[in-house]
Chain A
């Protein structure tokens, strides 16, 4: 199992190289005028040239790439053209917020999607099943940003139950970072009121982000449950008089979950991408918002940094899923 993990981690290297090449190609080979945007409309030609020289933008692309990769090996993600801050520091600051949001959404999606899928499969071809199938397609069709807006309108603006946006109000001091997740840090340091506030802030963005993967996981779980219910071993379990709840949990659910798991890995990456829109709606200080601001000003170093981090997370998530898959399904044990 250790060799399996090591081999998978080794595969990260070509992924990283590939990602940097692709992102560099987009950043440098496509038309665009980042220097002009950063220097401002009134900058003279000399000022622009100085700025370009400072960031090495006047040198050939392959040389820029070499410099970037050399820095990357030492943990240096280069510097933002616009803010002149090191990208690595920004990534470290914004990553936990995104992870907290994505993991919360994932928890909702998996925690509700799997039991709902199981239930609808048991109700197959009766009206609750039909209704939930329509609702699921509806949930998948709902634009996250519109959903976020509706949630804000309802629960923050009209009903005043939940905070409108952000991770914490400005007047609340965040707990000292231990994990970087405000909710977990607050719980660890025993600041229960901060935990409560942070959870309230997390609720709407996590809901908006999780609805579509929840529906997808539910549909996946439903169809794999239906498939499992037709398997011979379920008939055998019934023929041997196993109680219903055991057949449901140990025989049906376990096998159906193992079929659903692989998809969840793919959806993690999808969630990481989808977080861009939700972070914009809820002003959530994460990677998505950071990348959006950078993209709008054609400041490419942060964008490359975000793409790298998200690519890495995606590969890690799939590694974790594969490990979990091996735990549930004994047939595939890291060969």
Chain B
């Protein structure tokens, strides 16, 4: 487990080995980029390049662990933010001109280019790389004309193509007519060819480092989405992971379509409640929480309601990893995906001794709130994560 700081570091080292920090540090000093981990609650930044820190005026400590939205400000265009959010949700590459804010509050235009990095075996997004290239002020708006058409598609003819398959999903240039983004008193800045090329070249360097170093741990990453996960891996997408990570309750998702209904997602709060590490619970049936004094009738009740595809609440004695026990007010409910079929069962654990939170919410309301939030996430995300809509988006 370890502290959250260690977890942020581990996000990189466990995937790309201990040497990745040095390797990323050796990259060109004016390369501005961030690496984020969608599988950690809050989708935090896990790495910020030296160039980025210089450009933004923040220190590493102020940035790592935070969500990328801290760089947005009052004049940041809301629709651009939405486009980034949707690209993250749909796990695809995108680029956009964005107005970000430095630590001292001054705004600056950047070309923002986002890449998902996939785990080769489970086809899951393990990180996002966001490259940022400052856009200088131009004398006229002629830069716009130059930018149109060429550069984005140029990526496909670039020598990096063999490694990186660019998923050109959004024709950003088609939005050029919209001028609803902008600095007070300053026109929006559109990236020119040189910024776009710089972003592409920089990304190629970073991504090839990540691919290279992931081979050292055997947990190989790739930039092109693997066609399907290897057998035995669950299909929790990074976007679902991000939504679930926002829910601060102790809960697990189990997959009724896999043998023995294994846990396919466990929240951070579940790990702290039970004392297990994530790797120790994923893939296992929940029965390991039981112990010598666990009531057989309670287990029977759970099985019956799962068979009937119904929700239930039971009071059950559970055991932590260290052998101590607690009374768990467990609520289990089927969760349906966009096709209306049951995709998972969610189990939300409430320690019987839990009190109202600081806002006044009771454990019971928080428990059902977590169920609702899981239902919203699974219901909507699965209709976009399906392979059919991927190719058309």
Same complex origin of A and B: no
Residues of B whose CB lies within 8 Å of any CB of A are none
Residues of A whose CB lies within 8 Å of any CB of B are none
